[in-house]
Amino acid sequence: LTLGTGVLLISAARATRQSIVPLWAESQGLDASTVSVIFGVSAGVDMLLFYPGGAIMDRFGRMWVALPAMIVLGAGFVLLPLTSSAVAIGLVACLMGLGNGISSGIVLTLGADVAPDEGRRQFLGGWRLCADLGNVAGPGLISLIALAFPLGAAAVALGAVAWFGAGWLARWVPTYTPVPVRRSRTGQPS
């Protein structure tokens, strides 16, 4: 109910990014090949940040990845309805790729961090269930909102969900203090 809800919100935002960008681009009259290029460039930005995201998590703590990722994803959702050209949609998709890429590995890393020694398998199974529910809930929420409102309203609503998720994570992600590595007289870690 605490950090698991945060993981559900992370997963919802990350999964929705993959469905809202092509839907929005199509609604603006872009053809499939242009949408594919936009999505490919966004995925490239996403992949470039895998390693830096992991390094930030390990050096400064999980919060330094979880919060910025949700804030950036939320900004991307809110900015998306303001776009209409391929370039503008591509820039927002790249912004969302930045938010998604920097948070690569956050779900499983947080799960490993907080899993208790006793009942670890059951805990991680429930943890994965929370993440999977988020993967379904995000795109499902877009569909439900788009039934009654324009697609732009659904994007803004997901932006609000992502920003709410940032606040939720700020409350529940455990703080992390890097432990300095002690070195022996030979210079080897001890």
Compute CA 110 distance to the chain's CA centroid, rounded to the nearest angstrom. Answer: 13
pTM of the model: 0.86
pLDDT for residue 100 is more than 60 = yes
> For residue 36, what are its two tokens?
């594919």
Q: Could you tell me what percentage of the chain is helix, strand and coil, using 3-state DSSP and rounding each to the nearest 5?
A: 80, 0, 20
Confidence of residue 184 (pLDDT cuts 50, 70, 90): low
Residue range 75-88: mean pLDDT, rounded: 96
